[in-house]
Amino acid sequence: MRIGVFGGTFDPIHNAHLFVAESARILEQLDRVLFVPTSNHHYRDEPQADAAHRCAMILGAIASNLGFALDDADLRESATGYTADLLPRLHAKYPQAKLTFIIGADSLVNAPWMRFDEVLQSLEGFVIAPRPGVRADALARVIAAVPAPLRERVSSLNIPEIPESGTLVRTLISQGRSIRYLVPEPVWHYIVAHRLYGFDAGE
């Protein structure tokens, strides 16, 4: 079995996440894509919504796709938030699977990765989704720093750049503007029902 591992805060999950995951599933010939939310982002702001809300939104967003699943391994008390520590846990949980990590180019370029060589050694593939604002030369420098034997495991997804982001969604909510159709309908209804991200019931 070939499994994609899509990590992030998913604060909240939005349509671009789903597009990237489905594109990776098809282009990389993956049997399943795991959405793996984290509470421990060492180089980004803490999630605004708690883990229970973020997991509920993920489950709502992926319910219609049998190729998607949620894995909460990086939300456990023992989780460090480092990918190098997450991957052995996933290998133990899915011992017959070959793992491919899925990431946005901004997450790779804008934050230093701890034990990146160790991460790549644990994977069959490491695929990068293009993101607006990430310069090709900056991405090339990161990839060039990878030892040559591991570099062949790194590739880019051949998909268009999509500007949608969790930051955009949260910003629009804070401005009293609509986010409907930027997120899946179940996520929109969940945000409204639970008044997440400062959503104003009077909107």
DSSP string for the chain: -EEEEEEE--TT--HHHHHHHHHHHHHTT-SEEEEEE-S--SSSPPPSS-HHHHHHHHHHHHTT-TTEEE--GGGSTT--S-HHHHHHHHHHHSTTPEEEEEEEHHHHHSSPPTTHHHHHHT-SEEEEE--TT--HHHHHHHHHTS-HHHHTTEEE---------HHHHHHHHHTT---BTTB-HHHHHHHHHHTGGG--TT-
pLDDT at 147: 87
pTM greater than the 0.85 cutoff: yes
State yes or no: pLDDT of 84 exceeds 70: yes
Most confident listed range (67-71, 136-140, 144-148): 67-71
Most confident listed range (121-130, 134-143, 145-154): 121-130
32-81 confidence digits (pLDDT tens) = 999 999 986 565 678 899 999 999 999 999 999 999 999 999 999 888 88
What is the dotted CATH code of the domain comprising 2-162?
3.40.50.620
| Distances in whole angstroms, Cα of residue 91 to Cα of each of 83, 100, 203 | 12, 11, 45
pLDDT at 203: 44
